[in-house]
Amino acid sequence: MGNCREIEVGGKPLVIYDHDIEPPTGSDLLGYCLWDCAITLAHYLPINARSHPLSGKTVIELGAGTGLPGLVSGTLGAARVTLTDRPHLLPGLRRNVEANAETLSSEIKVLPLEWGDDEESTLSAFGDRPFDVVLMSDLLYDVSAVPDLCRSLKGLSDSHTEILLAYELRFGTTECFKVLRENGFGWVKVGREELDPVWQSEDIGIFRVSYL
Ligand SMILES: C[S@@+](CC[C@H](N)C(=O)[O-])C[C@H]1O[C@@H](n2cnc3c(N)ncnc32)[C@H](O)[C@@H]1O
């Protein structure tokens, strides 16, 4: 069984298993473990909820990997949370939902989503679209994937959606942001003083993304 971490966020204990994928190599396997961006975003969510309450809202996480930010939303009063990723990561995502069942107060769905698949037959599974909140953690590293990511974002949100993006500064991140803008999105960086004082780092940022 994959590595397991116990994490307390906003006073709620959560357990997050890495996926059982051996060996964890190759770009297809990037979601097998919990990344630092997800930890930073997860700890920001209870802080953000003071000014943007999640109560009764619908939330979707794209490229959820092990699903921590989405699961934290599920402890903050969201009505429904949808965790998405590529099909091979869904069993592990479901295990993390089950492992935290007693802590979660929201209905949680786990659905496959390959970015850019905007066929009506795919999107019709996402009954809550446009979602109230979209979460994206550590998805900006491959510039060629950003147009497809934007297409999915447009299919699942609208100009009223609160879109939170956590990124880690890496080679190529600046180029990814350029493509995000070319595809009609702008952003405002959340001030470091607004983030959890412990769970932040110099090379990780959180942005509020909006339609231009
Ligand atoms: C670096 S991992 C981040 C995982 C998780 N969000 C976190 O921060 O811990 C990138 C995630 O994006 C997913 N991903 C990458 N390309 C994708 C695509 N074209 N369609 C759907 N998911 C994709 C991967 O499967 C992986 O879960």
pLDDT band of residue 27 (cuts 50, 70, 90) is: low
Task: Assign 74 to helix, strand or coil.
Answer: coil
Quick count: other Cβ atoms within 10 Å of Cβ 211? Answer: 14
In b/e form, how buried is each residue of 179-190, taking b as 16+ CB within 10 angstroms?
bbeebebebeeb
Residues 126, 154 contacting (CB under 8 angstroms): no
Task: Assign 112 to helix, strand or coil.
Answer: strand
Please state the separation of Cα 37 from the chain's center in Å: 10
pLDDT band of residue 168 (cuts 50, 70, 90) is: very high
Distance from the alpha carbon of residue 163 to the mean position of ligand 1, in angstroms: 16
Task: Give the chain's mean pLDDT.
Answer: 93
**pTM of the predicted model as reported, rounded to 2 decimal places:** 0.96
Looking at residue 22, what is its pLDDT?
Answer: 65
- The residue whose two tokens read 């869904």 is 90
Does the CB atom of residue 151 touch ligand 1 within 6 A? no
Q: What is the pLDDT of residues 35-57, one digit of tens each?
A: 999 999 999 999 999 999 999 99
Backbone dihedral region for residue 114 (phi beyond 0: left; psi -120 to 50: alpha; all else: beta): beta
Residue nearest to atom 12 of ligand 1 (CA): 63
What sign results for the dihedral spanned by CA atoms 54, 209, 83, 1? negative
Rounded CA-CA distance 47/183 in Å is: 29
Residues 62, 83 contacting (CB under 8 angstroms): no
Distance from the alpha carbon of residue 113 to the mean position of ligand 1, in angstroms: 10
Q: Tell me the H-state helices in the chain.
A: 36-51, 68-73, 90-99, 120-123, 146-156, 173-182
Nearest-atom index, ligand 1, CA of 64: 6
Does the CB atom of residue 89 touch ligand 1 within 6 A? yes
Q: Which of 86, 110, 148, 156 to mutate to test the pocket of ligand 1 (most atoms within 8 A of CB)?
A: 86
Q: What is the pLDDT of residues 97-109, one digit of tens each?
A: 999 999 999 999 9
Q: What's the mean pLDDT in 131-137? A: 98
Cα dist from 205 to 16, 61, 97, 141, 199, whole Å: 22, 17, 26, 14, 11
Cis-peptide into 69, omega within 30 deg: no
Any bridge partners for residue 162, and if so which? 133
Does the CB atom of residue 46 touch ligand 1 within 6 A? no
Backbone dihedral region for residue 10 (phi beyond 0: left; psi -120 to 50: alpha; all else: beta): left
Nearest-atom index, ligand 1, CA of 38: 8
Quick count: other Cβ atoms within 10 Å of Cβ 124? Answer: 9
- Domains of the chain (ranges; CATH) run 4-211 (3.40.50.150)
Any bridge partners for residue 111, and if so which? 84
**Residues in the chain, total:** 212
DSSP single-letter state for residue 116: T
